[in-house]
Amino acid sequence: MAIRFGVAGTGHWARSVHVPGLLAVRGVELIGVWGRGAEATRTIASAHRITAFERFDDMLDAVDAVSFAVPPDVQATLAPQAASAGKHLLLEKPVARSSAAAADIANAAAAAKVCTLVFFLRRFVAAIETGVQEAAGHRWRHAWARAHHATLSTNSPYAGSVWRQESGAALWDVGPHALSLLLPVLGPVREVVAQPPEANRLTRFTTVHESGASAGVSVTLHAHPAEELIDYRFESATQSRSLPSPVLDRTGAFTVAAGELVQNIIARRPAHRCDVHFGAEIVRVLEAVERSRAAGRPITLAAA
């Protein structure tokens, strides 16, 4: 029996990644789409011969799982509602913009015993995930995570994204990707230290991990196109290793992620390496970075 999915969202990411990605998953039936704009909702539904839902509640009544392609604050409002209705969750990063909101999603999912997965893109690219798993077997002293994107300094499909225009948005848009690769290798974060924003709205911070390792992170959405950079590197006293940086097939990676969620749903296995609890832990770290930047001092995280 197929798992019935609905998509929440009608923007570029929903159209180019979520909808085609779900259509490519064996064992998935894409039922329909809901969005905050009726015309955009109808356009997507007509193109794929699926239902255009006028109300989110109506879509919940028709599906087993919801794939979210909406801004973080909207996701944080809708996801607990979906989980409480017994629907499995395919979430975007960040799962929310506060640890309290992220905990609400995690708690609702746990109470309803539904499966969850957060689409941390690079964790579903085989070459990168293999590199993460191999690196996790070593004891590293330091790491660098540099993700400098020209998303908002070019005419990209995301240049009109409202929430990405906010001050500090790179921390919440790109920061989750960086932490999704650092945490499985270096372990839980004990302390963060943030620096003031720099040129090209570059956000820098340092994470200190319970393992004793530290990582220097820098992220931006405003890099000059010629200065875009993706670099994830780990060093110890005896060796150094960089994660691969292949050309990304975003839709293909989403298909992999959705397929893994479907497998967990069928097996009734809520835990996943990128489940909502992992997503909530990343939100907790990002929130601490914001506090560090505002206070101008290191912030210690309580043990999770």
> In the predicted model, what is the mean pLDDT of the chain?
95
Q: Which residue has the higher pLDDT, 200 or 75?
A: 75
Is the confidence at residue 164, as pLDDT, over 90? no
Cα(206)–Cα(215) distance, integer angstroms: 6
- What distance in Å separates the CA atoms of residue 202 and residue 223, rounded to the nearest whole number? 8
Whole-angstrom distance, CA of residue 279 vs CA of residue 76: 12
Mean pLDDT within 87-104? 98
Q: Is 298 helix (H, G, I), strand (E, B) or coil?
A: coil
Instruction: List strands edge to edge, sheet with 3-8.
Output: 51-53, 28-34, 3-8, 65-68, 88-91, 116-118
Query: How far apart (Å, rounded) are the C-alpha atoms in residues 51 and 6?
Result: 9
Q: Are strands 142-148 and 189-194 parallel, antiparallel or unpaired?
A: unpaired
Q: Whole-angstrom Cα distance, residue 214 to residue 221?
A: 24
pLDDT score of 200:
63
pLDDT band at 154 (very low <50, low <70, confident <90, very high): confident
Residue-range domains of the chain with CATH = 3-122+250-274 (3.40.50.720), 126-246 (3.30.360.10)
Q: What pLDDT, on the 0 to 100 scale, is given for residue 199?
A: 63
Please give the Cα distance from 212 to 187 (Å, whole number). Answer: 9
pLDDT at position 264 is 98
In angstroms, rounded to a whole number, what is the distance separating the alpha carbons of residues 38 and 18?
18
b/e per residue, 17-37, with b = 16+ CB within 10 A? bbbbbbbebeebebbbbbbee
Q: What is the pLDDT of residues 175-227, one digit of tens each?
A: 999 999 999 999 999 999 999 877 668 999 999 999 999 999 999 998 989 99
Interstrand relation of 142-148 and 214-220 (parallel, antiparallel or unpaired) = parallel
Q: Report residue 232 as tokens.
A: 């994830």
Reported pTM: 0.95
Closest CA to 68 of 258, 285, 259: 258
Does 67 have pLDDT greater than 70? yes
Give pLDDT, residue 278.
98
Q: Is 141's pLDDT higher than 70? A: yes
With bands split at pLDDT 50, 70 and 90, how would you rate the model's confidence at 89?
A: very high
- What does the pLDDT read at residue 57? 98
Q: How confident is the model over 227-252, as a mean pLDDT?
A: 96
**Structure tokens belonging to residue 292:** 């560090």
Looking at residue 92, the DSSP 8-state letter turns out to be: P
Instruction: Please compute the mean of the pLDDT values over residues 282-290 and round it to a whole number.
Output: 97
Q: At what angle do helices 126-135 and 175-186 cross, to 10 degrees?
A: 40
CA 85/CA 64 separation, integer angstroms: 9
Task: Assess whether pLDDT exceeds 80 at residue 58.
Answer: yes
Q: Give the pLDDT confidence score for residue 151 in this predicted structure.
A: 86
pLDDT, mean of residues 43-55 = 97
What are the E-state strand segments in the chain? 3-8, 28-34, 51-53, 65-68, 88-91, 116-118, 142-148, 189-194, 203-209, 214-220, 229-235, 240-242, 299-300
